[in-house]
Amino acid sequence: MNWNYMQPVTIHFGEGKLAQLPEEVRGLGKTRGILITSPSFERRGLVSKITEESGGLIVCNYAKISPNPQVAECEECIRLIRENACDFVVALGGGSVMDCAKAAAVMSTADLPADAYMDGAALPETGLPVIAVPTTAGTGSEITSVAVLSDHARGLKKPLACTAFYPKIALVDPELTYSVPPHTTACTGMDVFCHALEAYWSRHHQPICDALALHALKLVLKYLPAAVADGQNKEAREKMAEASVIAGLAFTVPKTTSSHACSYPLTNLLGIAHGEACALTIDHFLRVNAAKDDGRLAALAKELGFADCNAFADSVAKLKETIGIMKDLSQFHLTNEQFEQLVQGSKHPNLLNNPVEISEDMLRGMYTKLRG
């Protein structure tokens, strides 16, 4: 077995770590930064607070990132970076904010428009340093080399990947997740779960990532219901923040697989939140992969306390019910055209990472069951 592992992001984890931001910027030797975030943090006053406490290091901000960051928003960030001669980027928010910030930090160093990279243009090899401050226990974007952007005009949602997308520093402060509402906590928590499980069964799995995935899965199964039930449960919030980081470390090398492939059309077409879209199919693919298992998934199920993979899949289905996320697509009353769009849209390259080949007929069978 041949494998490699690299993780270039410096991670600082713990309550109150946001206060370290000015110190970390000075450590990088930078002086002019942009803060990229979402509207809620501007409304809550956190943008002005961070800007003021930076002591002049934050010179501008962009607080308009939407839940599925658009190419146009990335272009606006690039414009501000150039106009203000910024030499570093702070990303404060969930995966959408961090993805857009990472993309802008890299794309701002070249002349091509952001949509050119959606069409396959080679990404720059370097970018401005990013300090990522996650506010959800979800995507793991603070330590990955992936950024997902959307072009709504063309109906595109595409993951982009390059080494330059790795943030320089991740400040992971569980306190920032306390205000996340229950449904968002559930969706982002299941994204963590899918990152870990898909990393474990990916065709490109390797020992370090396997160990990380197992650790993250144990944390999610134990603490996600508690974090959803009580957002002020400090232990549950801290452990889910830990799980998010660890799952990010787990999947950044082997990459995600089938559930993430299917999540893109589910989000594009139906507007389902990313983590909820991933979770919709994860127990289905667990059963599919277990049917042709070489023993790895059976061993994983037992390590997690289940008799076998079917019991594991049953528990995942029950978990989704407990935390209140959708179990099928019956509420959408899918037309035949929408059904076909889901099938064809799920033929994403990530499917190739799945340990079992997923055919079009298999996708049709799955969506027929989910259609309700």
CB 350 within 8 A of CB 258: yes
What are 62-114's pLDDT values in tens digits? 999 998 899 999 999 999 999 999 999 999 999 999 999 999 999 999 999 99
Inter-CA distances, 302 with 26, 133, 204, 340, 341, Å: 47, 35, 22, 37, 37
CB 113 within 8 A of CB 94: no
Whole-model pTM: value is 0.94
pLDDT at site 157: 80
pLDDT at site 67: 87
Q: What is the mean pLDDT of residues 123-144?
A: 96
Separation CA 346–CA 344 (nearest Å): 5
pLDDT at site 155: 77
Inter-CA distances, 186 with 67, 273, 275, Å: 16, 11, 8
In sequence order, the 6+-apart residues with CB closer than 8 A to the CB of 2 are none
Separation CA 369–CA 12 (nearest Å): 43
3-class DSSP state of 10: strand
> What is the CATH code of the structural domain delimited by 182-371?
1.20.1090.10
- Give the pairing type, strands 146-151 and 156-161: antiparallel
Classify domain 10-176 at the CATH topology level: Rossmann fold (3.40.50)
Q: What is the mean pLDDT of residues 14-43?
A: 97
Could you state, in order of their start, the residue ranges of all structural domains in the chain?
Answer: 10-176, 182-371
